[in-house]
């Protein structure tokens, strides 16, 4: 009886080891800040600009990378995942990009209460942020800039950005999504630069 129990335990162990050996490794990815630094630094009084809150489709708020496929279908990659929550990664990359594009301003990622008040708040509603391997990376977003003192919207807009992807691999898709965020950052930067200079802010 003991031998049968031992043999059964060994058999189960072999099956489990075989199953583990056959499971592919999980790859983790992060988006990167890519916007180039501004060539001139404004020495005037710095504005405090908050990035966020940012909202994203529920479909994307998962650890697995979601890609588009044919026929309005999506693929959820179990073994290709974000290394941190995608919304946090997007907010951090936008903050880094904007800081490079506008070194004359100070950018804070939401929530920024630990750093005090900000002059403007950049609110972003991401409608689409995904890639179709071998074709394109896409971002669609609505955004608005709020004056924190008066709680009024001073400017707003919509962005639709597409970047081509030549390869089918996930690293190429993530790289293209980083490029899309860089393009988006430049659009936001242009909108912010058109606002009141820091000297007129209280």
Which CATH number goes with the domain that contains 188?
3.40.50.10610
User: For each of the chain's 202 residues, which pLDDT tens digit applies?
Assistant: 545 444 544 444 444 444 455 788 999 999 999 877 766 555 466 899 999 999 999 999 999 999 998 888 999 999 999 999 999 999 999 999 999 999 999 999 998 877 788 999 999 999 999 999 999 999 999 999 999 999 999 999 999 999 999 889 999 999 999 999 999 999 999 999 988 665 445 4
CA distances from 95 to 9, 19, 77, 102 (A): 54, 43, 27, 10
**Domain membership of residue 183 as a residue range:** 28-197
Looking from the CA of 185 toward its CB, the CA atoms found within 13 Å total 28
Is the residue at 2 inside a domain? no
* pTM reported for the whole predicted model: 0.83
Number of separate domains in the chain: 1
Task: Round the CA-based radius of gyration of the chain to a whole number and report it.
Answer: 23
Is the residue at 137 inside a domain? yes
């Amino acid at each position: 009886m003991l031998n049968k129990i031992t043999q059964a335990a060994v058999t189960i162990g072999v099956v489990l080891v075989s199953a583990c050996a056959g499971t592919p490794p999980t790859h983790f990815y992060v988006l990167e800040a890519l916007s180039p630094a501004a060539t001139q630094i404004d020495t005037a009084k710095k504005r405090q600009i908050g990035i966020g809150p940012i909202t994203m489709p529920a479909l994307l708020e998962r650890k697995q990378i979601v890609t588009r496929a044919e026929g309005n279908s999506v693929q959820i990659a179990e073994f290709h995942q974000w290394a941190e929550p995608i919304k946090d990664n997007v907010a951090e990359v936008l903050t880094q990009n904007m800081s490079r594009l506008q070194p004359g301003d100070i950018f804070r990622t939401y929530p920024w209460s630990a750093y005090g008040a900000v002059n403007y708040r950049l609110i972003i509603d991401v409608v689409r942020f995904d890639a179709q391997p071998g074709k394109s990376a896409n971002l669609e977003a609505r955004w608005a800039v709020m004056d924190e003192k008066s709680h009024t919207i001073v400017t707003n807009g919509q962005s639709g950005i597409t970047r081509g992807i030549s390869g089918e691999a996930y690293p190429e898709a993530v790289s293209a999504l980083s490029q899309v965020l860089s393009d988006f950052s430049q659009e936001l930067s242009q909108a912010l630069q058109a606002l009141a200079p820091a000297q007129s802010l209280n």
